[in-house]
Amino acid sequence: MARIVVVGSVAEDEVLSLPEPLREGNHLEATSRERRLGGGAANTAVPLRHAGHEVVVVSPLGTDERGDWLLGELQAVGVDTSGIVRVAGESTRSVVLVDPGGERTVVNVHRAREERLRERLEKIECDALYVRSREPDLAERMATIAHRATVVAHMPPLGRGARPAHVLVGSESDLPEPFVGDPWDAGEGIAGSLLRWVVMTMGAHGAEAVSAEERIAAPAPSVTAVDTTGAGDVFAAGLVHALLDERPMAQSLDTAVAWGAAAAACRGLPAREAIRGLL
């Protein structure tokens, strides 16, 4: 299997289950409360590790008890935490509200930050790099790594030249209308000449992949959504896995959609057995 480096956040999610959907001015009492490993990097790294890859997370954690717990959770599933740095203060944390239909609302409470991420990426050796971070000034390092490894980047950010990558991935709901109307042209502005595919997730409608020559659609499997938290990150993990397996984009997109659907159909991240069943 491959060595994959995932750059992004590792967070403690306080997950509150709601008795009904959120609406303005409403007063609700949570039906359950759960502490969960979260954050874009963790949500992508864990299923990739379940698939058998060597996965290194590059992320900051605070020096608090929360950071100790998050580090232990990653190590417990075999994720390589040598790329974790501890920074003074609190670790990243969020409150996640999940309604009965599985839709989630994420409230970011605190985000740990580091100052030397760009310098640390200079030493990265990997088969694939997945960037799930909005931190600025990563473009130069990503472009360098792209000459020796597959680079996949999450959107946003959407700035010109911000994410030199072979594949860009984002949720249609997070992207402005002009981007959705012409994803290839917009994607080239973000990734430059390295770009091969722009991939957009569309929730229950599946996903699309767009290149300079073609547009491929993959419908979503019919599942009952339990909790959509992290489903997009697990989708990205499935896409990276399939691309490293040298599958054509149509097959890679089907794999990614299946992984994302598996995440939406369970509470938290899919278990190792669930991911192995999709390989």
Q: 216 with 266: CB under 8 angstroms?
A: no
Q: Environment class of residue 174 by beta-carbon count within 10 Å: exposed (0-12), middle (13-18) or buried (19+)?
A: middle
What does the pLDDT read at residue 124? Answer: 85
Q: Which two tokens stand for residue 101?
A: 């239909």
Mean pLDDT in residue range 152-181:
96
pLDDT of residue 204: 86
What is the pLDDT at residue 17?
Answer: 93
Q: Is 107 helix (H, G, I), strand (E, B) or coil?
A: strand
Q: What is the DSSP string of 195-250?
A: --EEEEE-GGG-EEEE-SS-EEEEPPP----S--TTHHHHHHHHHHHHHHTT--HH
What is the C-alpha separation between 72 and 86, in angstroms, rounded? 13
CB of 63 closer than 8 Å to CB of 92: no
Express as a percent the part of the chain with pLDDT over 90. Answer: 90
CA distances from 30 to 14, 15, 237, 269 (A): 12, 9, 30, 21
The pTM for the full model equals: 0.96
For range 141-165, the mean pLDDT: 96
> Does the pLDDT of residue 244 top 90, yes or no?
yes
Report d(CA 22, CA 196) in Å as an integer.
39
Query: Is 90 exceeded by the pLDDT of residue 247?
Result: yes
Mean pLDDT to the nearest integer, 117-125: 87
Q: What distances in angstroms separate CA 97 from CA 72, 112, 160, one per listed residue?
A: 24, 21, 33
Q: What is the mean pLDDT of the chain?
A: 95
pLDDT digits (tens, 9 = 90+) for 183-230: 999 999 999 999 999 999 998 899 999 999 999 999 999 899 999 999
Which band of pLDDT confidence, cut at 50, 70 and 90, is reported for residue 123?
confident
Q: What pLDDT digit, counting tens, does each position of 21-69 carry?
A: 988 888 999 999 999 999 999 999 999 999 999 999 999 999 999 999 9
Q: Residue 136: its pLDDT value, please? A: 85
Residue 117 burial (CB count, 10 A): 19
User: Please, what are the domains in the chain?
Assistant: 9-276 (3.40.1190.20)
pLDDT at position 256:
98
CB atoms near residue 215 (< 10 Å): 11
CA dist 250 → 184, 194, 254 (Å): 17, 20, 6
Q: What is the predicted pLDDT for the residue at 186? A: 97
Q: pLDDT value at position 23?
A: 87
Does residue 66 contact residue 12 with C-beta atoms inside 8 Å? yes
Q: Where are the beta strands (DSSP E) in 75-223?
A: 84-87, 93-98, 104-110, 128-132, 150-154, 167-171, 197-201, 207-210, 215-218
